[in-house]
């Protein structure tokens, strides 16, 4: 199905709940992109056994799809000097949750308790800061349904999926802050900054 081998499909179908998907992503090492920028398809993530945020989110969206859900991603857009983060969205009983691949103690899995994607996005706001404590989350995208890219073979493509990155960048984004509000934000506390330095995977 979808061009996967029997073994690939068996692994993906075994991820029957958001919890199992998140556990599977957590067990994958982080993709440090040591040989250059990548945007690996789910097939390549399964083979190479590592992923960064968008790569993990795409695999999560695919696993959710195989359980009957729409394969949805959301972009969390940051201020200049920080990096965007991408999560896979899911719903349970009308509430939104998120599956997230990250190397840090923050910006992780979200339980499906949020009434809207806005509420879900805002749950990341206070965790999203630089090493100096500056809070940098500025906007979130409308959900992007990956099924629109089925004809391009996004699930098994051996090439990097830069067209999905562009689609997320081009999706309508909702600004979080009012004009001038960023200047009035309080920086994260030193203890928060220290906790934010915790990483799950180390470079070899």
Domain spans in the chain, listed from the N-terminal domain onward: 6-196
| Residue 67 pLDDT > 90 | yes
Which pLDDT belongs to residue 2?
A: 86
pLDDT tens-digit map of 110-146? 999 999 999 999 999 999 999 999 999 999 999 999 9
Helix (H) or strand (E) holding 73: strand 72-78
| Percent of the chain at pLDDT exceeding 90 | 98
Nearest-10 crossing angle of helices 18-27, 53-66:
140
pLDDT (tens digit, 9 = 90+) per residue, 20-52? 999 999 999 999 999 999 999 999 999 999 999
CA-wise closest residue to 171 among 146, 137, 136? 146
- Tell me the mean pLDDT in the region 58-71: 98
- Please list the alpha-helical segments (H only) found in 74-204: 117-122, 162-170, 190-196
* Residue recorded with tokens 């004009």: 179
Q: What is the DSSP letter of 199?
A: B
Domain 6-196 listed as CATH 1.10.3470:
no
Given a cut of 90, whether residue 1 has pLDDT beyond it is no
* Distances 88 to 139, 179, 187 between C-alpha atoms, Å: 16, 29, 28
Q: Which residues of 67-85 are buried (b: 16+ CB within 10 A; e: fewer)?
A: eebebbbbbbbbeeebebb
pLDDT-derived band of residue 204, with 50, 70 and 90 as boundaries?
A: confident
pTM (predicted TM-score) = 0.97
């Amino acid at each position: 199905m979808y061009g996967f081998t029997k073994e690939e499909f068996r692994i993906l179908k075994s991820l029957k709940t958001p919890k199992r998907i998140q556990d599977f992503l957590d067990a994958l090492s982080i993709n440090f992109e040591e040989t250059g920028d990548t945007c690996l398809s789910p097939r390549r993530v399964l083979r190479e056994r590592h992923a960064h945020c968008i790569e993990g989110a795409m695999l999560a969206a695919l696993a959710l799809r195989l359980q009957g859900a729409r394969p949805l991603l959301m972009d969390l857009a940051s201020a200049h000097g920080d990096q965007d983060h991408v999560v896979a969205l899911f719903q349970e009983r009308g509430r939104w949750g998120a599956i997230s691949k990250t190397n840090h103690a923050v910006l992780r899995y979200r339980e499906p308790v949020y009434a809207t994607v806005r509420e879900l996005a805002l749950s990341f706001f206070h965790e999203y800061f630089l090493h100096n404590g500056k809070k940098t989350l500025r906007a979130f995208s409308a959900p992007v349904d990956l099924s629109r890219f089925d004809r391009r073979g996004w699930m098994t493509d051996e090439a990097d999926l830069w067209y999905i990155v562009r689609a997320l960048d081009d999706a309508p984004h909702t600004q979080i802050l009012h004009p001038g509000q960023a200047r009035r934000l309080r920086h994260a506390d030193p203890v928060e900054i220290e906790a934010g330095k915790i990483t799950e995977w180390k470079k070899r």
